[in-house]
Amino acid sequence: MERPDLAGYAARSVFSRGRKHREMFRDQRPAFERDRDRIIHCAAFRRLEYKTQVFVNHEGDYYRTRLTHSLEVAQIGKAIARRLKINEELTEALALAHDLGHTPFGHTGEEVLNRLMEGYGGFEHNLQSLRVVDELEERYPGFNGLNLSWEVREGIIKHSSPYDRPVESIGEFLPGVVPTVEAQLINYADEIAYNNHDIDDGLKSGYISMAQLEQVQLWHEAAGMVAANYPGLDPERMKHQTISAMIGMFIKDLTQVTLQNLKDNQISSLEDLRRVNRQVVSFSSSMAAKNRELKRFLLENLYRHFKVERMRVKAERYLVQLFETYVKHPTLLPRKYLRKMEDVGRERVICDYIAGMTDRFALDEYKRLYEPYEPV
């Protein structure tokens, strides 16, 4: 039932290494399509709606959240997958799952939990995403988790970005061996999505301006193309059209370079990819340089903006106090979490509980615990 024109190096459901738990299915959906559907319907995916991307949820309804980010990664990933003739359902499943383990308050939450969990196994959001789909979701009879295909689970644990690195210590997932082309693609679709939507959110907030962006080569080139095609375009439409043009430039470059890499390395099957063991999805050297310049601009002008920093400091305080209070008084946790402490330990249960919180829930929990007139 998958596309008949998939390339030889594409992953196919029929050749999947399977699931951890045997199941009886009600229909004949391909494995990766079923995985995508399970991810969409799980609680952790819905909670992404109220988890920070750059701006905390209460700062405005316009800004991206982890949910809208994941949807944009899926849209960009599928667009590239179609051009590469690889498996769109696997690509989409990986895009929608890649942030399931993310904490409230974005990367601040991850850094805080990792520090608080020192001596107890630490915290890393790819590992937490795998923990969500393997253990923490409770939907099916006979097992915990979503029982996803091996290829989806491998792609989750080997996801790589400037904020996370693949966890190579889990022997089940071929340590030191590259994942599927679909999994490699998600690393770039993730970066394309957040670079461009963070520009949009940064402009909307007023923390950065289009005049500042004109110093960035990639923006300058894309804006020049838009201005040539649509002279006199108003600033709001100019912004959206320039961001769209930049996404198109990224997709075109990535597709061309990846196809050439596959050809140069004589990769015509998934087995060839594992044997050659090279990352084949990449930008050209010139696009990679432009992308680095764009990322430096966003780091200096948006992510380190003093108002973003103020919220980061407040979020850190909320999470540290919640964690320390639960450690000292674990009976404040819901009963189902207390029952898990014998199996995985107090700190890990508390970490799971906090990591699963939305921004809004964490703020409300902080008020319930520390403000005397707030209902508990």
Query: Which DSSP category does 229 fall into?
Result: H
Residues paired with 65 in a beta bridge: 52
Q: If we measure between CA atoms, which residue out of 361, 355, 369 comes closest to residue 109? A: 355
CB 2 within 8 A of CB 30: yes
For residue 231, give the DSSP letter.
T
Closest CA to 189 of 327, 97, 266, 116: 97
Tell the residue number behind the tokens 């960009």, with chain if given. Answer: 76
The pLDDT score that the predictor gives to residue 169 is 55
pLDDT of residue 26: 87
pLDDT at 168 (0 to 100): 53
Q: Is 270 exposed, middle or buried (0-12, 13-18, 19+ CB in 10 A)?
A: buried
CA 283, CA 188: separation in Å to the nearest integer?
Answer: 9
Where does 29-310 sit in CATH, by number? 1.10.3210.10
* Sign of CA pseudo-dihedral 354, 359, 361, 365: positive
Reported as type and span, the H/E element at residue 107 is helix 106-116
Closest listed residue to residue 11, CA positions, set 171, 150, 191, 148: 150
At 239, list the tokens.
């912004």
Q: By CB neighbour count within 10 A (0-12 exposed, 13-18 middle, 19+ buried), where does 91 fall?
A: buried
Give the pLDDT of residue 373.
Answer: 77
| pTM (two decimals) | 0.93
Handedness of CA 194, 190, 92, 35 (dihedral sign): negative
| Nearest residue to 94 via CA among 350, 266, 281, 278 | 281
Number of neighbouring beta carbons within 10 Å of residue 71: 17
Token readout for 196 is: 């461009």
Residue 57 confidence (pLDDT)? 58
Q: How far apart are CA 31 and CA 36, in angstroms?
A: 9
Q: Where are the alpha helices (DSSP H) in 265-358?
A: 270-276, 285-298, 306-328, 335-344, 346-355
Please list, in sequence order, all residues whose beta carbon lies within 8 angstroms of the beta carbon of residue 93, skipping any fewer than 6 positions away. Answer: 32, 35, 36, 39, 148, 152
Structure tokens at 173: 């997932």
pLDDT at 322: 97
Q: How many CB atoms neighbour CB 122 within 10 A?
A: 13
Q: How far apart are CA 332 and CA 326, in angstroms?
A: 6
Enumerate long-range contacts of 272-279, CB under 8 Å, 24 or more apart. 272/9, 273/9, 273/178, 273/180, 273/181, 274/174, 274/177, 274/178, 277/176, 277/177, 277/178, 278/178, 279/178, 279/184
What confidence score (pLDDT) does residue 147 get? Answer: 98
SS3 334: coil
- The two most distant CA atoms of the chain are separated, in Å, by 68
For the chain, which residues make up each domain, given as ranges? 29-310, 311-370
Average pLDDT per block of 10 residues along the chain, 376 residues long: 90 95 91 97 95 68 85 97 98 97 92 96 95 96 96 94 56 90 97 94 93 97 97 95 98 98 97 96 98 96 91 93 97 93 95 96 94 82
